[in-house]
Amino acid sequence: MALPRLIHIIMTGTAMLLAAQAQAQSGAKVDMRRLLNADAEAGQWLSHSRTFDEHYFSPLKKINDGNVGNLGLAWFVDLPTNQNVETTPLMVDGVVYVTLPWSKVMALDAKTGKQLWLHDPKVAGAWNINLCCGVDNRGAAAWNGKIIFGTLDGRLIALDSRTGKQVWSTKSTPDERRYSITGAPRVANGMVFIGSAGGEFDARGYVDAYDAETGKRLWRFWTIPGDPAKGFENKAMEMAATTWKTPGWWTNGGGGTVWDGITYDPATDLVIFGTGNGTPGDSVRRDAGGGDNLFMTSIVAVHAKDGSYAWHYQPTPWETWDYDTVQQLMLMDMQLDGQQRHVVMQASKNGFFYILDAATGKVLSAKPFTDVNWANGVDMQTGRPNVVPEARTNISNQVFNLAPGPAGGHAWQSMSYSPITKLVYIPATTHWQMTGPFDARQKYLAEHPNTPTGFTGRLMAWDPVAQKEVWRSEEFINPTGGVQVTAGALATAGNVVFHGNLPKQEFSAYRATDGKKLWSFGTRTAVLDNPISYEIAGEQYVAVAVGGPMPGGYYAPNGARLLVFKLGGKTVLPELPKFTEAPIAPPPQFADAETVRRGAQVFEAQCQLCHGRNGAARSTFPDLRRSPALHSQELLDNIVLKGIRSEQGMASFRDYLKEGETVALRAYLISVAQAALAPAPGAAPLAPGR
């Protein structure tokens, strides 16, 4: 190579690097112009899904189906957690921003991985009592030099993107009920949109808008009507109240939380969001009158300027199977039935792929993309599902092998759309679960050993116009029975789709057109979330945060890391430290059968949501069958009643338990530990009675 040419290359590369460093020093100066023109900055990842349409698509193509086999690890960073990592990073002006469990935020140099800052909002460990499903955080938003995120204890916080110092903080969630924030906020026109979690408890759902510069709340749209005696906030709530037939829903909150799935549509100036399940989850306990129960399990649109109601569509009226609709909502302009349409699409947890008119909410198409047996299709005149009566086992008290089960056909992991292939790539799940009385389920399974049960995941390519599957990846079967089998998807202009999984601990690349697997990398841990792609100094990178359930359970290191790949990367990912899990070694049973059964009831009411059936949680919470507290009533009482492990996330349950119930609880835990250690042939461990 001629010397002048070499000097030119060196100087050009140096100039590009200096320009990137200068951008990083100036902070994440994201505004509406940049967000609307995100494709003009293809090397950035400015928002949770990169663009307002929520396509999770990268226009970069230096990594493509011809060379992706040469992809290697450029750098990695160990993340300070042993909890599940479910975040989608941002990459703005040379800096990667990653949210972590317990609502922490980390900033890293996008080229080298050097840590720039780490912010800890110091959520009290005892707040874990208000969480259903872990201490995760799914991402942040960038706006005008600030990184904005929500916390588990209900704060919305803005940080200086250069220093990680707090700019403002506001309490977003109401104080009187059990709320938390785990989802990523969205930002547009100087407004931050955020909801909350808590539908498993007594929360009343809502979505908020805040001033991105000050944190001042601008409006709130409640998703569930409140106490009629106190008056309704607006006409929408008054209308929704007519769909609750049994008075008193407001005492339980009603549910309908907006814990994910928020989209801003610039074409209509609407905020479109999905809502969660009802409270209680059993439709008969919630509303014996059989009302639709708006706006739970619904897709709702409000006007961004003031939060006023625009439209709604409810995929699952009077829902009872945990089919929330908080999955990602994707915007698109498409030809449908010979007509040009501006639509919003969702691969719903209930197994149907919906296409709605984005301006009116009218359902245009609804086809199953996975196994579905709770409904025989959707009536396209009314938009209502044709529910199979037998699926409502809470009414019939019979056994039904439900599909999808409560894990759903598609959960929070985001799908991706390629404008090149015109396909949607769905992290899809097949989940069969027996519903009905516990004893009847066990009898049915014993008599029908070939009945499908459990979880199977895959990456699926779906044609949204033809409403049919085009290809699917190999299947991921989770032997532990966990609900998170597949990760989010990223499609790129290089004709590649990136996708990870939990059971095989792989991060893989598939050819976008036909699904051929082109490359795979062993992550040594689960992949649960969405990758992104960005460009620095002319070089394309692919980044994914990893970390999930591992052998060894809650106390084991789970390999939580940010992995960043490039062509020709040579970094070697080290093995995880060796870990030996505590054995299941219960003491002799000290109580009679009635005490054990009473303990089972206490466990189901107070402990099962976090610690899993029979106390056998594996990652987010400790496996109680292995706890030393089984050997000591004093230790159990110190943990459960006195809260000696509050800062580790185990709050005191003194206010929730009666005299003597911890004794019964210990007896029950000893019984399930003994059953797990030496189960009788063909018998299942004693489970909580219903």
In a domain, 450, yes or no: yes
pLDDT at 420: 98
pLDDT at 39: 96
In a domain, 588, yes or no: no
Beta strands across the sheet bearing 155-160: 141-143, 146-150, 155-160, 166-171
Question: Do 302 and 161 fall within a single domain?
Answer: yes
Instruction: Kindly report the number of other CB atoms within 10 A of residue 663's CB atom.
Output: 18
Residue with the two structure tokens 């969702």: 346
Higher pLDDT, 617 or 80: 80
Instruction: Kindly report the number of other CB atoms within 10 A of residue 522's CB atom.
Output: 10
CA distance 177 to 590: 38
pLDDT at 174: 94
685 pLDDT more than 50: no
Domain boundary among 533, 567, 601: 567
438 pLDDT more than 90: no
Does an H or E element contain 168, and which?
A: strand 166-171
Name which of 175, 193, 200, 224 is nearest 305 in CA terms. Answer: 193
In a domain, 240, yes or no: yes
In a domain, 52, yes or no: no
Question: Do 458 and 515 fall within a single domain?
Answer: yes
Work out the pLDDT band at 481, boundaries 50, 70, 90.
low
CA distance 279 to 256: 8
pLDDT at 686: 34
Mean pLDDT confidence for 190-203? 94
In a domain, 547, yes or no: yes
CA distance 366 to 345: 10
Question: Do 168 and 254 fall within a single domain?
Answer: yes
CA distance 572 to 635: 43
Question: Do 506 and 649 fall within a single domain?
Answer: no
Amino acid letter at 332?
M
Question: Do 555 and 519 fall within a single domain?
Answer: yes
Question: Do 673 and 559 fall within a single domain?
Answer: no
Q: Which residues pair with 536 in a beta bridge?
A: 539
18 pLDDT more than 60: no
The set of catalytic residues is 322
In a domain, 558, yes or no: yes
Question: Do 529 and 624 fall within a single domain?
Answer: no
Tokens found for residue 109: 């140099």
Three-state DSSP class for 102? Answer: helix
Question: Do 524 and 612 fall within a single domain?
Answer: no
pLDDT at 609: 78
Check: CB of residue 561 under 8 Å from CB of residue 78: yes
Query: Containing domain of residue 666, as a range?
Result: 593-677
Which CATH number fits the domain that encloses residue 618?
A: 1.10.760.10
Q: Which residues pair with 338 in a beta bridge?
A: none
In a domain, 597, yes or no: yes
CA distance 229 to 19: 61
524 pLDDT more than 80: yes
- Per the structure, the count of domains in the chain is 2
Question: Do 472 and 341 fall within a single domain?
Answer: yes
Beta strands across the sheet bearing 539-546: 71-78, 561-567, 539-546, 532-536
19 pLDDT more than 50: no
Which CATH number fits the domain that encloses residue 154?
A: 2.140.10.10
Q: Which residues pair with 303 in a beta bridge?
A: 270
Q: Which residues of 561-577 are buried (b: 16+ CB within 10 A; e: fewer)?
A: bbbbbbbebeeebeeee
Does an H or E element contain 471, and which?
A: strand 468-472
Question: Do 264 and 370 fall within a single domain?
Answer: yes
Question: Do 511 and 608 fall within a single domain?
Answer: no
CA distance 448 to 440: 12
In a domain, 25, yes or no: no
**What is the per-residue pLDDT across 590-641, written as a single tens digit (0 to 9) for each?**
999 999 999 999 998 888 878 888 888 766 788 899 999 999 999 999 999 9
Tokens found for residue 672: 């399930």
Question: Do 540 and 658 fall within a single domain?
Answer: no
pTM: 0.91
**What is the per-residue pLDDT across 302-360, written as a single tens digit (0 to 9) for each?**
999 999 999 999 999 999 999 999 999 999 999 998 899 999 999 999 999 999 999 99
